[in-house]
Amino acid sequence: MGLIRRIGVVVALCMFISGVIGYQQVFANTQPVVVINIKGEIDGAQVALVNRAVADATSKQARAIIIEIDTFGGLVDSAVKIRDIISQTPIETICYIKNRAWSAGALIAIAHQHIAIAPGGSIGAAEPIPTTEKTIAALKAEFSATANLRGRNVKVAEGMVDKTLGFPGYAQPGQILALADYQAIEVGYADISAVDRSVVLNYYGLADQEIVEYHLGTQEILAGWLSNSTVKSLLLSVIFLAVFAEIKTAGMGVAAFIGLFAALLFFGSQWLTGVAGWFELILFMGGILLILIELYVPGFGFFGISGISCILASIFLTLGGNMAAVTMLCISLAVAIVVFILILKFLPSSRLWAKMVLKESEDSGAGFSSSDDYSSYLGREGVVVSQLRPAGIMEIEGIQIDVVSEGKYIELGAKVKVVSVNGNRIVVRSV
């Protein structure tokens, strides 16, 4: 019996261990690998895509994030935003360079914990345009800090931006640094050369994981278009113009709805790209509320000034809170002021205004009257039936009418005469 009992305990223990291992495997397999495809120019659309995919990866507790990249470059500010999103996520990140990661794409690539590159692929060539001392210094610092964060040789990253540096054995001073696939592996800027995604997954132990892919959609394309600096400036001008119009007309009209729609587009696009948060949106709505309070509650300008300040602050923070944001704000505000002045000057005399405004009037010549005609009482006499102090009531042939004396008190029952009629104002004098 003792032997049978021991065998039973061993079997039960094995079953328990097998169950735990099986549970862990099932749980592990529920953690997907998120694959993000970046192809073409780096812009706001790509930022929106990465922001959405990384947020989903976090909510799904993804095992890893793989960004498959093939780009000649694009907007530096968009690349920096993507770099920040990748650097800040706690999820393991892998970049697979399918063909090339040049310029802004190189910054995105080196922000990952791991890099795989396809045969014939390349990375680097990140000299900024325009090539000024300021832009080179700024971008070189971004590349250097990103490489240092991931434990890579910062001199390689700097050589990709500043051609005066070069890199021994790969680029002479005066040549911008770009690395082929085998060179990237040699200097530690790639782990392996992989012909396709399956090799990447196998190398990093992700072959058995579920794959969830993300591609550019209509939402991201729209966000990218709205993130264009010219479009953003235009939307800001519309918002400012709507505020001016509402202050001028003191009411919620068409301008208010146009301005709110422009604000929805502006903040919506920034939300999708991960730039705007709840604080900026609440600050903007608070500014709108303060302006409405100013329109309907006398506040001696306090509520109006506070509202405009909140709106400007929310937009400033959404644009990045830097000098570029100040410049865009000033340009948009100036455009709105000029357009508003032109509207005030030319709209009243334009054909459009003539079609919008009703010209016909109901005058007395056409038989219309805004009040009763009391002119027939002029010169007639009657009796005061309500003391005139100086206003009161008199009666003429059984008809009672409201009258006012010439300023004197007239007793009840006194006889008076109508001496003046002006609209519905009837003036009487004691007889």
Average pLDDT over residues 108-126: 95
Query: 383: which strand partners?
Result: 395, 415
DSSP structure class, residue 30: T
**pLDDT tens per residue, range 87-102:** 999 999 999 999 999 9
Q: Is 106 helix (H, G, I), strand (E, B) or coil?
A: helix
Instruction: Report residue 389's pLDDT band, with 50, 70 and 90 as the boundaries.
Output: confident
Average pLDDT over residues 346-359: 61
Strands (E), 202-247: 211-214
**pLDDT tens per residue, range 52-75:** 899 999 999 999 999 999 999 988
**pLDDT tens per residue, range 275-300:** 556 777 788 888 878 877 776 666 55
Residue 159 contacts residue 175 (beta carbons within 8 Å): no
Q: How confident is the model at residue 349, as a pLDDT?
A: 64
Instruction: Tell me which residue of 336, 238, 243, 236 sits closest to 289, measured CA to CA.
Output: 243
| Mean residue pLDDT across the chain | 82
Q: How confident is the model at residue 358, as a pLDDT?
A: 55
Question: Does the pLDDT at position 328 exceed 50?
Answer: yes
Instruction: Report residue 425's pLDDT band, with 50, 70 and 90 as the boundaries.
Output: confident
Neighbours of 208 (CB within 10 A): 12
Instruction: Tell me which residue of 428, 379, 429 sits closest to 401, measured CA to CA.
Output: 428
Average pLDDT over residues 207-213: 90
Question: Does the pLDDT at position 199 exceed 90?
Answer: yes
Q: How confident is the model at residue 158, as a pLDDT?
A: 94
CA distance 405 to 428: 5
Residues 6+ apart with CB under 8 A from 73: 41, 42, 79, 102, 103, 104, 105, 125, 126
Q: How confident is the model at residue 367, as a pLDDT?
A: 54
Q: How confident is the model at residue 122, as a pLDDT?
A: 95
**What pTM did the predictor assign?**
0.63
Torsion sign over Cα 130, 135, 139, 144: positive
Question: Looking up tokens 């070189």, which residue turns up?
Answer: 140
Residue 333 contacts residue 240 (beta carbons within 8 Å): yes
Question: Does the pLDDT at position 8 exceed 70?
Answer: no
Between residues 4 and 304, the one the model is more confident about: 304
Q: Are strands 92-102 and 178-180 parallel, antiparallel or unpaired?
A: unpaired
